[in-house]
A and B are shown apart, each in its own frame.
Chain A
Amino acid sequence: MTDLPTSPYPALLVGLPVMMAILSLFFRPRGKAFLGLIGCLLTAVLAIFAFVEVTQLGTVIHRLGGWEPPLGILLRMDALAAVFIGMTALVGALISLYAWRYFDAQDTSTDGFPLFWPLWLFLWAGLNGLFLSNDLFNLFVTLEVIGISAVALAVLSGKAGALVSGLRYLLAAITGSMSYLFGVALIYGSTGTLDLEMLGQVLEAGPATTFALLVMTLGLMIKMAGFPFHFWLPPAHSNSLAPVSALLSALVVKGAFYILLRLWMEVFGVSLTYAAGQLIGVAGAIAVIWGSWQAFMQTSLKLIVAHSSVAQLGYLLMVFPLLILPSGVSAASADWLSPAWTASVYQVLSHAFAKASFFLSAGIIVMAVGHDRIESLRDLVGHMRMTALAIGLAGVSLIGLPPSGGFMGKWMLLKGIFLSGQWWWAPVVLVGSLLTAGYIFMLLRLAFAPTGEKEPFQPVPKRLEVFALLLAVSSFLIVLPADYLIQFLEGSEVFGSGIETVLKGGAYGNN
């Protein structure tokens, strides 16, 4: 651990956005927005540099203040963290550029929501910190930073509806993190360490570990809106401002999933059972069907998009049953492990780009028509071709048609399902895609339908449409480096690190 190359990037990735956020608080509204945008772009550039460094050096670490763990805090950036940080940077930069123009175009009765910028920078610092953290308690702190700034962003408009759904979101977030923290207490009480890597080695199966796994998984499920704890997500995501909805659904819920993935794969190997995996898989499967069906039944555009998030997060949960080996199977012979978990990463990436684009497009339509009932899409193609194209492309990625990023994720998930012999998940994936196609085509049908008398489309800044379209196109472009990215994630001999080595080392599974 300590002989890994040191790099300043992990510290900067957390420090820079925090400093810019605090600095911007001292300025007037215009200055806040300007400094905020600069901070966002700088952080994105920094993240790209850090990503390149990890591809060259492999996992890099940083000891904060030069203190050695366990006394000091160690940040670790491996392939998985690098991919998530890179995703946050690309999606975050495009949403920031959109937000700059979006708030500018708001009518003068609002003050342009200058507090968006410091809150979003705090959120970004929290996300980067979460991806880089190497111990359970740090993960809790970053979860809280993310939770509080996310709720503050969600209630930014100050409208009563947003406040009520924001309070519901905050209570769910607090309950989730307290539940997670209870698990941390149990783990610390039984092992005396919080370090993820060390825990993977010293944790022993027993009632305390099982209970800790249970409450931590419960807490993280609440945080990532996994079924049946999805109740807070649709109102919170649909009531907030367009750039905020995009941030919340594209990035924030992925944080809790990232911790869940790391915990199940690196830490709790000893107490995972086949039944636990099946249970979380069933929750994911119900979320896929239920969320898609609910999205199909909605009549407001933003609620459709928000319910579709519940379904797309369900696909992520369906990866977990594949990661648990039935007794008697060694990790080396389980050839479905790597398609299964790279599928989840691809699903995260494609959902981040597609859903961000979808919410930004919804924001454009609300701006143009003044409401977000789905009839507002009528004759969209005639008036705003770019936004119609963005919705179409993002929709195709959500359905999972080739050659989109969503296709990569779902195809690899199916591959993992069939290789592992757990065929019963396959129909869920297919029915989910079919239902998704149902509501996407319902929207597209309206977009192409001409109208006799038209509600006037207000002019919308062209640049907003460009950024939404860029995000939608990106959800296709992520397929191009797929080969390279998967190899990078699997930690092949070039990079020599990553979860796959833990799996292949046999320190995992029930055998």
Chain B
Amino acid sequence: MEIYQIYSMTSAVLFVIGMGGVFMSKHFIKKIIATIIMGGGVFLAFVSFAQRDALSFADPVPHALVITGIVVAVASAAFALALARRIFQLTGEESFTNDK
């Protein structure tokens, strides 16, 4: 098995773990961490595809895309954490209730 295949498979596993976490957990922080794990999977997928058959060097485009993606993911995670913190301050709740 080639190295990039290991990376690709790991990325798929991470993506699925994250997706499952987002839908199945109720706690704010757990959900946010799950989206970050999902993001990690996606970025790993990009990087693992950088090894292309015709090239002897790594394709730079996926790396540029991943940098942008990471910036966006960090910003969204920070925003989500800020919201979660504010909700905790206002109401003391730390997870979604079932009624909605």
Instruction: Flag whether B75 is at the interface (Cβ < 8 A).
Output: yes
A170 touches B62 (CB 8 A): no
Q: How far is the CA of A140 from the CA of B66 in the complex (A)?
A: 12
Residue interface bits B31-63, CB-to-A below 8 A is 1, else 0: 110010011011001101100100000010110
Take A178-B39, A182-B45 as given contacts and tell me if A171 and B80 are in contact as well, using a CB distance cutoff of 8 Å. Answer: yes
Instruction: Flag whether B6 is at the interface (Cβ < 8 A).
Output: no
- Kindly identify, within residues 8 to 61 of chain A, every residue whose CB is under 8 Å from any CB belonging to chain B: none
B19 touches A179 (CB 8 A): yes
B42 touches A167 (CB 8 A): no
Q: Point out the residues of chain B lying under 8 angstroms from A486, CB to CB.
A: none
A160 touches B79 (CB 8 A): no
Q: How far is the CA of A411 from the CA of B75 in the complex (A)?
A: 44
**Interface size class, chain A:** 35 or more
B80 touches A167 (CB 8 A): yes
Q: Point out the residues of chain A lying under 8 angstroms from B24, CB to CB.
A: none
- Kindly identify, within residues 121 to 180 of chain A, every residue whose CB is under 8 Å from any CB belonging to chain B: 137, 140-141, 144, 147-148, 151-152, 155, 158, 160, 163-168, 170-171, 173-175, 177-179
A174 touches B96 (CB 8 A): no
Instruction: Flag whether A224 is at the interface (Cβ < 8 A).
Output: no
Q: Point out the residues of chain B lying under 8 angstroms from A185, CB to CB.
A: 42, 45-46, 49, 62
Residue interface bits B59-88, CB-to-A below 8 A is 1, else 0: 101100100110011011101100110110
Q: How far is the CA of A148 from the CA of B31 in the complex (A)?
A: 17
A167 to chain B: closest residue by CB = B83
- Shortest Cβ distance from B32 into chain A, in angstroms? 7
A175 touches B46 (CB 8 A): no
Take A171-B31, A175-B19, A188-B62 as given contacts and tell me if A181 and B42 are in contact as well, using a CB distance cutoff of 8 Å. Answer: yes
- Shortest Cβ distance from B42 into chain A, in angstroms? 5
Q: How far is the CA of A175 from the CA of B38 in the complex (A)?
A: 8
- Shortest Cβ distance from B19 into chain A, in angstroms? 7
B64 to chain A: closest residue by CB = A137
B18 to chain A: closest residue by CB = A178
Task: From the candidates B32, B45, B93, name the one contacting A171 in the complex (CB within 8 A).
Answer: B32
Instruction: Flag whether A186 is at the interface (Cβ < 8 A).
Output: yes
B96 touches A168 (CB 8 A): yes
A174 touches B80 (CB 8 A): yes
Instruction: Flag whether A189 is at the interface (Cβ < 8 A).
Output: yes
Instruction: Flag whether A192 is at the interface (Cβ < 8 A).
Output: yes
B49 touches A155 (CB 8 A): no
Q: Pick the most buried of A151, A174, A182, A184: most chain B CB atoms within 10 A of its CB.
A: A174
B35 touches A171 (CB 8 A): yes
B91 touches A167 (CB 8 A): no
- Shortest Cβ distance from A65 into chain B, in angstroms? 16
A235 touches B15 (CB 8 A): no
B83 touches A189 (CB 8 A): no
B87 touches A163 (CB 8 A): yes
Q: Point out the residues of chain A lying under 8 angstroms from B59, CB to CB.
A: 192
- Shortest Cβ distance from A68 into chain B, in angstroms? 15
Q: Point out the residues of chain B lying under 8 angstroms from A140, CB to CB.
A: 69
Task: From the candidates A152, A163, A170, A235, name the one contacting B90 in the complex (CB within 8 A).
Answer: A163
Q: Point out the residues of chain B lying under 8 angstroms from A152, CB to CB.
A: 79
A144 touches B45 (CB 8 A): no
Q: How far is the CA of A199 from the CA of B73 in the complex (A)?
A: 26
A148 touches B76 (CB 8 A): yes
A141 touches B72 (CB 8 A): yes
Q: How far is the CA of A235 from the CA of B45 in the complex (A)?
A: 34
Q: How far is the CA of A158 from the CA of B83 in the complex (A)?
A: 10
Q: How far is the CA of A166 from the CA of B83 in the complex (A)?
A: 8
Q: How far is the CA of A168 from the CA of B18 in the complex (A)?
A: 16
B77 to chain A: closest residue by CB = A174
- Shortest Cβ distance from B30 into chain A, in angstroms? 11
Q: Point out the residues of chain A lying under 8 angstroms from B61, CB to CB.
A: 188
Task: From the candidates B79, B90, B91, name the one contacting A148 in the complex (CB within 8 A).
Answer: B79
5 contacts between A and B (CB under 8 A): A164-B87, A167-B84, A178-B35, A178-B73, A182-B15
Footprint of A on B, CB under 8 Å?
15, 18-19, 22, 28, 31-32, 35, 38-39, 41-42, 45-46, 48-49, 52, 59, 61-62, 65, 68-69, 72-73, 75-77, 79-80, 83-84, 86-87, 90-91, 93, 96, 100
Q: Lowest 6 A-B CB distances belong to which pairs?
A: A189-B49, A185-B45, A160-B90, A167-B83, A174-B35, A178-B38
Beyond A144-B76, A160-B87, 13 additional contacts (C-beta under 8 Å) are: A148-B79, A151-B83, A155-B83, A158-B86, A167-B87, A170-B79, A171-B35, A173-B76, A178-B15, A181-B69, A184-B65, A186-B45, A189-B45
